[in-house]
């Protein structure tokens, strides 16, 4: 089946949210993909292709202020990419929830898996806290426990700083990834605090998994946490704290952590990305087998 590109819905503040649907021929589940700050869903082409090929239909939007949504929202002014606009982060979260409802309504018989990277993983944590019944599994990459002491306060490229540094070495050990990011007309390197402001930035950084989520839904929700060993956002220690919080606070039992040696923040754009995608698909196969 052919992908449906540049679909849109209008959020509660009148912003047109642009999204794509990538249907699998014989889908066994649906994946809702949430991208990170300063980027867009188009950077996940290889991951989406692998998921669709394995039988997972993928819904992927460009969040408020980002990618195609951001360009339309800001009158094609690329200097404003990343700025969320009226309603701020709360409206962004609600738009992601709207995307969930669209994916559910169009695939009522299929399980729905939430896959978030970086900021997208924080959005996923928030969505799971508020709407746990909406999701059948959650996958977080480049994530961290949203709590003081678990997020890196230093500039993310600090350990790779040097006279020849591009400033984006923290993304991947593959230098081509950083160069492509800088050359992409739909990305921005503007820091999160400047893009979102103090209040919305703080809402991202403070919030642990909700207590009693398993009891609230009446069953376990499988969670997969994937992180690069050299990820400067939170790293393996913070991700393990997040895993413990999901076990001890939320009561989930099927919580898996995968740490990739030598990998940085964008594990799906790493040198070992084929192995990482294979790990993801193997985890999914165990929980959502082919019919």
- Percent of all residues in the chain with a pLDDT value above 90, rounded to a whole number: 97
Task: Indicate the range of 68-82, 193-207, 242-256 predicted with least confidence.
Answer: 193-207
The pLDDT of residue 1 is 63
Q: Is the distance from CB of 172 to CB of 265 less than 8 angstroms?
A: yes
The pLDDT of residue 222 is 98
Overall number of domains in the chain: 1
* pLDDT tens digits, 134-163: 999 999 999 999 999 999 988 999 999 999
- Percent of all residues in the chain with a pLDDT value above 70, rounded to a whole number: 100
| Residue 2: pLDDT over 90 | no
Structural domain boundaries, residue 182: 4-287
Per 3-state DSSP, the chain is made up of helix, strand and coil in percentages (nearest 5) of 40, 20, 40
Burial of 261 (0-12, 13-18, 19+ CB in 10 A): exposed
Query: Which pLDDT band holds residue 207 (cuts at 50, 70, 90)?
Result: very high
Q: Indicate which CATH number applies to the domain containing 192.
A: 3.40.50.1820
| pTM beyond 0.95 | yes
* pLDDT tens digits, 268-288: 999 999 999 999 999 999 999
């Amino acid at each position: 089946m052919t992908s449906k590109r540049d679909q849109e819905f209008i959020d509660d503040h009148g912003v047109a949210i642009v999204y794509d649907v990538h249907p699998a021929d014989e889908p066994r589940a649906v994946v809702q993909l949430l991208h990170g700050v300063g980027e867009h869903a188009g950077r996940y082409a290889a991951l989406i292709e692998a998921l669709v090929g394995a039988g997972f239909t993928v819904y992927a939007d460009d969040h408020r202020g980002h990618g195609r949504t951001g360009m339309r929202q800001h009158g094609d002014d690329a200097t404003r990419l990343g700025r969320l606009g009226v309603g701020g982060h709360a409206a962004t979260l609600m738009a992601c929830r709207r995307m969930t409802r669209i994916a559910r309504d169009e695939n009522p018989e299929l399980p729905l898996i939430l896959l978030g990277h970086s900021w997208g993983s924080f959005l996923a944590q928030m969505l799971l806290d508020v709407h746990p019944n909406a999701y059948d599994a959650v996958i977080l990459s480049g994530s961290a426990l949203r709590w003081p002491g678990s997020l890196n306060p230093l500039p993310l490229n600090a350990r790779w700083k040097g006279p020849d540094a591009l400033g984006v070495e923290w993304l991947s050990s593959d230098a081509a990834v950083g160069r492509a990011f800088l050359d992409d007309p739909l990305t921005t390197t503007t820091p999160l605090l400047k893009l979102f402001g103090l209040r919305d930035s703080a809402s991202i950084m403070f919030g642990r998994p909700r207590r009693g989520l398993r009891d609230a839904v009446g069953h376990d929700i499988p969670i997969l946490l994937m992180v690069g060993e050299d990820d400067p956002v939170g790293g393996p220690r913070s991700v393990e704290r997040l895993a413990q919080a999901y076990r001890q606070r939320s009561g989930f039992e099927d919580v898996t952590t995968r740490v990739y040696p030598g990998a940085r923040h964008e594990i799906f754009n790493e040198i070992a990305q084929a192995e990482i995608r294979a790990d993801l698909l193997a985890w999914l196969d165990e929980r959502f087998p082919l019919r």
